[in-house]
Amino acid sequence: MESNSAAAVMQAVCPQEWADIVDVLSTYRLDPSSWLKAGGNRGDIAAQIDEEFARRGWRETRLDLETKGVLFSRAGEKLGELPTVHQEGYLVDNFKNRIVLDVEWNAKDGNLDRDLASYRSWFEAGVISAGVIITKDRLALLQLARRLWAEYQATLPDEQKSPRLPIDLTTSTVTAFDKARMRVRRGVMGSCPILIVAATEATWNGKPYS
């Protein structure tokens, strides 16, 4: 999903960064051995994707803004300045040139509000040209996970079988495509061009869970 022709904007204004995004997204594949593994800091999936962007020169970056008001008379005479206002931002997962990109795989869905609101302020300040969020199609991957888990369970002795997935994919309050789409349709990002990309079953590498 995109807003304000995000893909075309990035291709025209930041062609190298766009090429990086296309390259990473067209080659990355979900491996059940890491995707369906519990634990980890930000999660293996987010770390793997971030690593691919890091190899291409993207960096975790904090974007702060400073605003200074200057007072002028009707005749154009400078009357003074207002105190500088410093707005502290937050660390984005990946930043390069004028593109910000966050991997929101399994965080609280409120992170999407923070991301999109920040993208909006940075865009309106002229700092970035577009923002990208990589997430997942939760329901599609839940169906795939259940199928892979059932196939794996069929290979185990009865005493080792468990109907429960090793991770919780049923929670609906985490970052996912439907949550991002709702916020984009609500206009949280203002006029900032936004691209939302979600992993589906097509992102799977075809290997069984083991």
Domains of the chain: residue spans and CATH: 2-63+90-203 (3.40.91.20)
> Residue 118 and residue 155: Cα distance in Å, rounded?
48
> Do the beta carbons of residue 144 and residue 201 sit within 8 Å?
yes
| Residue 153, pLDDT above cutoff 50 | yes
> Residue 106 and residue 112: Cα distance in Å, rounded?
11
> Do the beta carbons of residue 189 and residue 1 sit within 8 Å?
no
In this prediction, residue 39 has a pLDDT band, given cuts at 50, 70 and 90, of low
- With H, G, I as helix, E, B as strand and everything else as coil, classify residue 103: strand
> Residue 125 and residue 54: Cα distance in Å, rounded?
26
Q: Give 156-191 pLDDT, tens digit per residue.
A: 999 899 888 888 888 889 999 999 999 999 999 999
In this prediction, residue 40 has a pLDDT band, given cuts at 50, 70 and 90, of very low
pTM of the model: 0.89
Q: Give 45-104 pLDDT, tens digit per residue.
A: 999 999 999 999 999 998 888 888 999 999 999 999 999 988 887 889 999 999 999 999
Task: Please name the helix (run of DSSP H) or strand (run of DSSP E) that holds residue 187, with its range, or none.
Answer: none
